[in-house]
Amino acid sequence: MTIPISSRASLDVPSDARSDISDGTSSTNDGGDDGWEDIEPEDESQSIIGLFSDDIYPDVRSLLKDTKERYNFDLAKVQKDLGLDFFGTVKLINYIRSEVKKGVQKPDVSSKSLFDDEAYLKPVIEDDALLYNLDDIASDADGPQSEKVQKTDTETQLREVQEELSRLQEQFFNYRLAVQQSLSVQLSKEDDDPLQGMNSARDGASRSMTEEVDYDYFKSYSYNAIHESMLKDTVRTDAYRDFIYDHKGLFKGKTVLDVGCGTGILSMFCAKAGAKRVIAVDNSAIIEKARLNVFANGFGDVITCIRGKIEEIKLPVSQVDIIVSEWMGYGLLFEAMLDSVIWARDRYLAPGGLMVPSHATLRIAPFADADFVDSHVSFWRNVYGFDMSSMLESVHHEAIIAPTKTSSVVGDSAVFLQLPLHTITVKELSFLKPFELTIADDVPRLDGWLIWFDIFFMTSPTAKLKDDALPSELRKEGFVAFTTGPFGPETHWQQCVLLIDPEGEKPVPLQKGHVIRGEIGYQKKEKDARALDIEIRWSIDDHSLKRHQTWSLQ
């Protein structure tokens, strides 16, 4: 995550029911004509549309016969083999129609769990005549004379569906109204006092810097733009989705904690993968939208949304099986969100539990790019004909977040910190680590350093990562991993560029094979701060010159 430079029955509401609610009107049974209100077809001889084509059939028996002969699909047998009742058969038909509509010519009907979602109660075809003649499907399974088949009163069953949908609509309307009222109260408080969420009483007492930074930090996550940027980062979002969906066995029946849930996307991935319970926590106002997203997608009985700092709230469970979080900031540790994830791990993760992702590595590489330097440094000397050199005062001491060219990397990269998420401690996030790099090409001078991070998703809490593991190599072995470096697809994290201050000295040319040795350190600007100071000390073979510089990432 980065800052830019309760029950299922009451919430599994079909989309047509939600559209009623969005108009601000109650969807109780008022005699309207929408949705399921008109349960009796006006035309008793209404033709039946085929399951796999737009062909019209005079009756169910004709449809079943032709479907069996032309498409090798026996609807009556599937109904009987799966032991489907009236509602199950309705779901089956709507499931088949929706799959065919997507272009799937042979829908998988091996298990009724494939179409057990309440959403399949909503007809795919308006006034679907097949749904009014379900008795004929059952009778066809054993022949018209069979006494084994229990006749179903279709009209009565459809009335029950209507009543159930009406009840769901009303409950969802009441829930939405309650959330809107809650949001209105919160917004009115913020209008009166934008900082009231931090301190209810404005008695003139000043807040600590930490409180102010925290307030600004969480407030920034209340708006859509930052979440849109993260969700559209397909490298990031696809990695989480692929790991969760590809390893449903790890999530099935488990309790999951999502720290910093944002819009709730990771929580919904976990719920869809079969998690028994997901607890989504976020301390920004986005949690209200996440809650609506959860209910709108039918996960109200699985996902519980809680607003607050993970360190300050009390979860409804004592332990969780999995912690999932997208905590990464610029340069990996900007924002210090990993501190909270580690706290949650130590407090709630059950022995043998899984961290998702499981590992991260930080890399450094030598950087040389005259055009980049011109665009960020020389630029200020002539801005539309004006000298703005005053802006250069700290330009070499501020970390720059930007995409860079692969040609700017003039040597190998080195891992200077590996973070095994199951064991790393907060104390280890402030460090000074050695590195060694070899120059790959002759360059007139070293312009700076590049820092990026790689993320890995392993399936076991005891899995080990090789010291110099590359995401590209692990992906070939079937693992999920991604890089934020210049040699992979661009992510919203881009790269962290640290420009070297020339300090009026003549450039030192570097030749292929020169070795740079040094140390790199991360340190919070102050206790509990979210900004970082990055320090690098280095020296080059064949040169007595030793350099030392510090950059701020804030």
Spell out the domains of the chain, with CATH numbers in brackets: 29-163 (no CATH), 180-350 (3.40.50.150), 359-553 (2.70.160.11)
Q: Is residue 231 very low, low, confident or very high in pLDDT (cuts 50, 70, 90)?
A: low
Catalytic pick from 147, 326, 436, 473? 326
φ and ψ at 495, to 5 degrees?
-125, 160
pLDDT of amino acid 55 = 87
Told to judge if 335 belongs to the known catalytic residues of this protein, a careful annotator would answer yes
pLDDT tens for residues 398-415?
A: 999 999 999 999 999 999
Catalytic pick from 335, 393, 473, 535? 335
For the chain, what is the mean pLDDT? 80
pLDDT tens for residues 330-358?
A: 999 887 789 999 999 999 999 999 999 99
Told to judge if 526 belongs to the known catalytic residues of this protein, a careful annotator would answer no
Q: Is residue 456 very low, low, confident or very high in pLDDT (cuts 50, 70, 90)?
A: very high
- For residues 325 and 322, what is the distance between their CA atoms, to the nearest angstrom? 10
pLDDT of amino acid 14 = 39
Q: Is residue 176 very low, low, confident or very high in pLDDT (cuts 50, 70, 90)?
A: low
Q: Is residue 158 very low, low, confident or very high in pLDDT (cuts 50, 70, 90)?
A: low
pLDDT of amino acid 196 = 42
| 3-state secondary structure (DSSP) of residue 127 | coil
pLDDT of amino acid 175 = 52
| Sheet (strand 546-553) strand order | 431-438, 515-524, 532-540, 546-553
What residues are paired with 539 via a beta bridge? 517, 546
pLDDT at 179 over 90: no
Vertex 521 angle, CA 217 and 323, to 5°:
50
- For residues 396 and 503, what is the distance between their CA atoms, to the nearest angstrom? 10
- Structure token pair of residue 445: 């001078």
Does a cis peptide bond (omega within 30 degrees of 0) precede residue 486?
Answer: no
